[in-house]
Chain A
Amino acid sequence: MAQELVNPVLGKDLIGLEELTREQITAILDTAETFKEISERPVRKVPYLRGRTVVNAFFENSTRTRVSFEFAEKRMGADTVSISTTGSSVQKGETLVDTARNLEAMRIDMVVIRHASSGAARFLAERIESSVINAGDGKHEHPTQGLLDLLTIRDHRGPLEGLKVCICGDVLHSRVARSNIHGLKRLGAEVAVCGPMTLMPPDVGDLGVRWFNRIEAAIEWADVLNVLRLQLERMKAGFIPSLREYNRVFGVTRARVEAAPRDLLILHPGPMNRGVEIDSDVADGPHSVILQQVTNGVAVRMAVLYLLSGGPATEGGDA
């Protein structure tokens, strides 16, 4: 039964960009493009998910991502329920497998999951028939964030083939970085990472990216900078000596951006630490597309929900 609902473009789940082909990624971005227009309408609703139930299972805090998914679901007409860590049974020791069984028993159509453990989304997807969308699992992937970054870059720079994109900052702990690396490379971009070696994953070069240990060199090379959030507790854990030094050595500052040989495009997944990884006048400046990322986030999530649901409900045949 569930088999008929699976859309051939995407399969049952969206776990990571590592598993997607160039065609699949392009299909999502193209679909998102059409959904952007819906958000411009006075009545921002389409009925594609009417009668479908989506559960947002957020076992880790993320207001931004959760709100973006909820907007996307509501604009598609889905019935939604949100479970968050606070007050959920997970805190009482319910295991992920129990969560899976309960979700399955409720006969829902889709689950959006955010979890602190890498692999949690795949774990759930392997155990339930509903479609699972990974909204960030541990340090693994955050595919919709990766897709919205791709869409934003594509909006401004056209096809990604040959474009030079540098991901700056704490790549080691970043699921956004992994999704970006896979997605960008799949679309033919050249990818680099920049930051101190303590924040670089071991063997990151084997993912097909180059490493800059100086932000100046990265800026010299890049067309696009995707600046990651530096978790402030990394300093206490010894990954960097101080925030001040980080800003001095690796910060994306106005002076550095203005010295760039090309017109840089600057992204940041938010929330930002202004004055640490990025300066305010850069974040709010002419190169920044940070707010468009937020807008594109809703369109990308609508596209993913749409494609995973098998297209319009009238054609889905699940009545």
Chain B
Amino acid sequence: MSRLLIRGGRVVDPSQGIDAVLDVLIDGGKIARVGEGIESSDAETMDASGLVVAPGLIDVHVHLREPGGEHKETIASGARAAAAGGFTAVVAMPNTDPPIDSPATVGYVKAAGLRAGGARVFPSGCITLGQKGEQLTEIGELMAAGAVCITDDGRPVMNAGLLRMALEYAQSFDLPVALHEEELTLSRGGAMNEGIIATRLGLTGIPNAAEDVMIARDLMLAELTGGRLHIQHVATRGGVDLIRAAKAKGVRVTAEGSPHHFTLTDEAVGWYNTNAKMNPPLRSAADRDAVRQGVADGTLDVIATDHAPHHYDEKEQAFEDAPNGIVGLETAVGLAYTELVATGLIGLAEMIERMSCAPARAMNLDRAADGRPPLGSLREGSAGDVTLLDPMLEWTVDPAGFLSLSRNTPFGGRKLRCRAVRTIIGGTTAWQSSA
């Protein structure tokens, strides 16, 4: 079936300022029309009344663990988990084993993504060879092989001079440089947020300054070079303030807020709950509120999950020994809606802007490339990537039901509202809720 007609849903497409009950026709894998009373006799028709019809959601920060960590996640399982979470496209981080630092490894991720049968998988490439922070990768070649950004995520680029070069060099390709912001001599291998809870638990804390200092440095380097900076998973109020001020000055910067950082505080660590261990760590209520506010006012353009699957054995350890990260693909929509929309902080249109349109722009996916139509919009000619959301659906997070190979979430048992019920990629249903 090459034609799909989605009838009578609330179409919310911030890229065109649309929020109305309309029909959407997808033809040949692209959006053919959005309008009232569309008739198409030969199209598969679905009734979307009561549902929200959004341009496909995009997560620009996921760890798919392949190659090297296939017991945690594979590109195929991650792409399916993404589709189940309502995502039609994801950007895969390159801190795999080996790291994605050559055209060949970028090509491998891209090819595996095409076979995956879930969300579209866009590779990213390392900034430095082996993420060692010493020598730039062949950035142009990585892009030619399909990388949509470069990042050493998981690690900061400690050498400021080298990062300057990366920001300058990547401009030849208009490629965003995505950064994990952490001053390692300040974080000192810490396991959680610095503060009274870390003190009580006897854990080394990571001060906010470890993140803020690097954000400040890198905003200055972006200003110096004119390069495109994308700041990953901002977790501090200082970081949000710095980015807000830089944007006001015209610095080319985009930034992410993640669902766990706008939902939880370091109290979630409780008595050493390793499913609340992540980097940057969960911080204070003031920081969480700043992240919320940053997402609300657009300082943090993008909601990204930092989906970081780990095998249960690896989390079943003493806190300091357990790896960082939680899975996020299948809880992101519910958390964003419950924490931000249902609380009145943002409207549904802003949520979709942060989860589809803005991520597409940040990673240049809003342009046709590689024979693929633009993403992050329901404009005519865009990719037929559509996420159908049920904003009234109440559900309880059950990690056992995840399509991800991993279950490491602090949100098990949490009651959420809103969920993706159908994920359409290129006009084909990639996932549909069974309920």
A242 within 8 A of B: no
Contact between B318 and A139, CB atoms less than 8 A apart: no
Decide yes or no: A118 and B194 within 8 Å by CB, A137-B202, A140-B201 being known contacts: no
CB pair A138–B320 under 8 Å, yes or no, is: yes
Question: Are B272 and A122 in touch, CB under 8 angstroms?
Answer: yes
Q: Which of A49-57, A196-204, A302-310 contacts B (4 or more CB under 8 A)?
A: A196-204
Instruction: Pick from B195, B207, B272: contact of A119, CB below 8 A.
Output: B272
Contact of B201 among A95, A115, A118, A203 (CB under 8 A): A118
Assess the B318–A117 pair: CB atoms within 8 A: yes
Q: Chain A, 185-225, contact with B by CB distance < 8 Å: what is the 0/1 string?
A: 00000000000000001111011000000000000000000
* Binary contact readout B308-338 vs A (1 if CB under 8 angstroms, 0 otherwise): 0000010011111100000000000000000
Chain B 197-209, CB-CB to A under 8 Å as 1, else 0, gives 0111111110100
Whether, in the assembled complex, A141 has its beta carbon less than 8 Å from a beta carbon of chain B, the answer is yes
Q: Are B318 and A120 in contact (CB under 8 A)?
A: yes
Min distance, Cβ A125 to any Cβ of chain B, angstroms: 10
Q: Which residues of B contact A178 (CB under 8 A)?
A: 200, 202
Is A20 interfacial (CB 8 A cutoff)? no
Q: Is A108 an interface residue (CB 8 A)?
A: no
Proximity string of chain B (397-410) to chain A, C-beta cutoff 8 Å, 1 when within and 0 when not: 00000000000000
Instruction: Say yes or no: B271 contacts A122, CB within 8 Å.
Output: yes
Indicate which residue in B199, B313, B319, B320 contacts A202 across the interface (CB closer than 8 Å). B199
The contact of B202 among A95, A118, A203, by CB within 8 Å, is: A118
Q: Which of B195, B272, B319 contacts A203 (CB 8 A)?
A: B195
Q: Residue of A at shortest CB range from B312?
A: A97
Q: Are the C-beta atoms of B318 and A140 separated by less than 8 Å? A: no
> Do B202 and A207 have beta carbons less than 8 Å apart?
no
Q: Which of A119, A141, A202 has the largest number of chain B CB atoms within 10 A? A: A119
Contacts of A138 in B (CB 8 A): 202-203, 318, 320
Interface flag for B196 (CB, 8 Å):
yes
Given A138-B202, A202-B207, A117 contacting B196 (CB threshold 8 A): no
What string of 1s and 0s marks CB contacts (under 8 Å) between B174-204 and chain A?
Answer: 0000000000000000000011101111111
A95-B316 in contact (CB<8A): yes
Write out the residue numbers on chain B whose beta carbons fall within 8 Å of the beta carbon of A122: 271-272
Nearest Cβ on chain B to A3's Cβ, whole angstroms? 22
A118 to B318, CA, bound (A): 7
What separation, in Å, do the CA atoms of A96 and B315 have in the docked complex? Answer: 11
Q: Is A104 an interface residue (CB 8 A)?
A: no
Band of interface residues on A: 20 to 34
Q: A202-B195, A206-B196 are in contact. Are A175 and B202 (CB under 8 A)?
A: yes
Residues of A within 8 A of B313 (CB): 95, 97
- Residues A118 and B320 in contact in the complex (CB < 8 Å), given A139-B203, A202-B195, A207-B199: yes
B200 contacts which of A97, A115, A120, A207 (Cβ < 8 Å)? A207
Query: Which A residues between 129 and 184 are near B, CB-CB below 8 angstroms?
Result: 137-141, 175, 178
Q: Is A79 an interface residue (CB 8 A)?
A: no
Task: Name the residue in A117, A120, A175, A204 with the highest tally of chain B Cβ atoms < 10 Å from its Cβ.
Answer: A117
A18 at interface, CB cutoff 8 A: yes
- Closest chain A CB from B239 CB (angstroms): 19
In the complex, chain A residues 5-29 whose Cβ is within 8 Å of any chain B Cβ: 18
Q: Which residues of B contact A201 (CB under 8 A)?
A: 198-199
C-alpha gap A216/B205 in the complex (Å): 30
How long is the Cα–Cα vector from A299 to B320 in the complex, in angstroms? Answer: 32
Bound CA span A120–B321, Å: 10
B72 → chain A, closest Cβ, in Å?
Answer: 16
CA distance A123 to B271 in the complex (A): 9
A136 to chain B, nearest CB (A): 10
Tell me the minimal C-beta distance from B320 to chain A in angstroms.
5
Minimum Cβ distance to chain A for residue B166 (Å) = 30
Q: Are B317 and A96 in contact (CB under 8 A)?
A: yes
Asked, given contacts A95-B316, A96-B317, whether A119 binds B201 with beta carbons under 8 Å apart, the answer is yes
Q: A118-B203, A119-B271 are in contact. Are A202 and B198 (CB under 8 A)?
A: yes
The digit string for B17-41, where 1 denotes a CB below 8 A from any CB of A, is 0000000000000000000000000
Question: Within the complex, what minimum Cβ distance (angstroms) separates B270 from chain A?
Answer: 11
> How far is it, in angstroms, between the C-alpha of A204 and the C-alpha of B321 when the chains are bound?
24
Interface residue ranges, A against B (CB under 8 Å):
18, 95-97, 115, 117-120, 122-123, 137-141, 175, 178, 201-204, 206-207
Point out residues on B near A: beta carbons under 8 Å. 194-196, 198-205, 207, 271-272, 313, 316-321
CB pairs A–B below 8 angstroms (26 shown):
A18-B200, A95-B317, A115-B318, A118-B201, A118-B202, A118-B272, A118-B318, A118-B320, A119-B202, A119-B318, A119-B320, A122-B272, A123-B317, A138-B202, A138-B318, A138-B320, A139-B204, A201-B198, A201-B199, A202-B194, A202-B198, A202-B199, A203-B195, A206-B196, A206-B199, A207-B199
